[in-house]
Amino acid sequence: MTYEVYAFKIVFFFLPENSVTVSITLSAFLLGLGFSTLISKRLLRKKKLGYKKLLQLHFLLFSLLCIICFGALNLPASVINLLGNYPIEESQLLLGKGILIWLILFLPALLVGGFFPSLLSKEVDENDGSKNLNKVYFIDIIGGAIGSLFAGIYWIPVFGLGQTLYLIIILSVLCLLVLNAKNWLNYTPLLGFIFLFFQTQETKNKSELIPYYSEFGEVIFQEPSAYGVVTIGKKLDPNYSKIAKRLFINHRCMCSGTYNVSENELAENTLKSIKPEAKVVNIGLGCGYTANAIASSEKVDSLTIMEINPTVIKAFKEEFSHINDQILNNQKVTVTNKDGLEYILLNKKEKFDAIIVDIEEPGVIQSSLIYTDEYIKLASKQLNNGGVMAIWAIFGGDEYNKILYRTLKNTFPYVIFHSHHGNPQLYGSFEPFEKLVSQADSSWNDLDESYLNTINNRVLEKSYSIRGTFMLPDNYVDDRITQ
């Protein structure tokens, strides 16, 4: 069940959360269980395997599948991006996604789903009927519930998808050893293989950052997180002739201590557009410049900061809080380690005067959905009358800016586009802006649907190069970017 929660998380990165997606996930899971039960029963009837050997086989195959999945965490994104490069209909792309996601859910259920029915059959055969069936069934259900809750509430949010697979592999191997405690040495080759696999991954994780230390400068903070390695480095900024702190996630610079003009402008323009006593939510903490500018305003009564990465919050407290007026101690500020995407979607009764999006770029898997038409439409429903949705985005070029504008315009009748040194800022509202003037060309109002960024047509991610933006080498590997 821990794996199924992991798989569901992947599903919702690539398919909208609707009845179709729920149908795909349930059908894949249940059919996997059904076929697994059927195959297991046939193997037992033909006496090719005993109960114990069959149960061991389930865990062995499942462990190997998880190891394969670990090496292919970015496979769904790669396949879907590949499909998007061909001139196919949206319905065909959706079908391709559905088949891929169905397999991700079906295969593990097929490999391990027959375990429980086999265990029940063993109990019936060895104990003359159903003497302990209720107890076995209860233990199985309780274990599944605990696994699901533990994975969804704690492990995935804190440690991420890759570390969750680590946990699943370890638990599966432990089950194998328990089932064959007397002859556990038979699994020495498997244990050696898994040990080498873990060592290889650990070495890879440590060595990934080494070639880029010169970009970081003096490293004053560095910790791994579920969303990449968070680093703060100090280095001379030649444009300002001063030492600056910069925050990185892996090798992508998120913000700098010397350049924060566009973040401050995002806050100032939002403040010009909202009413007094405003209630504001800021998705993304980063270095805290946008949040500090918002919290410092007398027009704002409350500011809720949503930061998905707890390590970023820790890094901010240690290295950036003192240059941002200790904003996390401000009585009107609440900072929460939550996914801003899920927070907005789940708190449908809560309304805001401004929703500010100041996060990673759309080419990063945990951020990409926020830039889609579907999400913007849902978020817009959380705005009070006269409310504003403000988005800061990494620079990406003219086509990229047009897509951002067209996507926001599909929801809001009034959209302001502003750019500072190439970094676009967009503001959407259902009421006219009185104090902001748009820099968008008038022709942008006539852009067709090919410029609309949706879950099934992620043109925004294809319109710019994340590698070029951050000057990453061609051999750079990052499972969290979609390109």
Average pLDDT, integer, range 13-37: 73
H-helix segments, 181-325: 188-207, 213-216, 261-272, 289-295, 310-319
Looking at residue 364, the DSSP 8-state letter turns out to be: B
* pLDDT value, residue 196: 64
Looking at residue 280, the DSSP 8-state letter turns out to be: E
| Torsion sign (Cα): 149, 337, 224, 8 | positive
Q: How far is CA 321 from CA 34, 250, 311, 369, 442, in A?
A: 54, 21, 14, 29, 41
Question: In the structure encoding, which two tokens stand for residue 179, read together?
Answer: 């089932």
Q: Which CATH class is domain 2-207?
A: mainly alpha
* pLDDT value, residue 115: 65
Longest dimension (CA), the chain: 83
Please answer whether residues 201 and 78 qualify as being in contact, where contact means their C-beta atoms are separated by less than 8 angstroms: no
* pLDDT value, residue 187: 61
User: What is the rounded CA–CA span in Å between residue 63 and residue 220?
Assistant: 38
User: What is the rounded CA–CA span in Å between residue 68 and residue 50?
Assistant: 27
More confident residue, 455 or 332: 332
Please answer whether residues 418 and 438 qualify as being in contact, where contact means their C-beta atoms are separated by less than 8 angstroms: yes
SS3 call for 389? strand
Domains of the chain by residue range: 2-207, 210-254, 260-469
Neighbouring residues of 419: CB distance < 8 A, sequence distance ≥ 6: 401, 425, 439
* pLDDT value, residue 207: 43
* pLDDT value, residue 367: 86
Fold of 260-469: Rossmann fold (3.40.50)
Which residue type is seen at 217?
G
SS3 call for 430? coil
User: What is the rounded CA–CA span in Å between residue 289 and residue 4?
Assistant: 38
Please answer whether residues 107 and 65 qualify as being in contact, where contact means their C-beta atoms are separated by less than 8 angstroms: yes
pLDDT per residue as tens digits for the range 251-285: 888 988 877 888 889 999 999 999 999 999 999 99
For residue 210, what pLDDT band results from cuts at 50, 70 and 90?
Answer: very low
For residue 389, what pLDDT band results from cuts at 50, 70 and 90?
Answer: very high
Which class for 35: exposed (0-12), middle (13-18), buried (19 or more C-beta within 10 A)? middle
Evaluate if residue 206 carries a pLDDT over 50: no
Query: How many other C-beta atoms lie within 10 A of the C-beta of residue 126?
Result: 10
SS3 call for 398? helix
pLDDT per residue as tens digits for the range 467-480: 788 877 776 777 67
User: What is the rounded CA–CA span in Å between residue 278 and residue 50?
Assistant: 67
Q: How far is CA 451 from CA 77, 403, 407, in A?
A: 20, 5, 7
* pLDDT value, residue 121: 65
Evaluate if residue 342 carries a pLDDT over 90: no
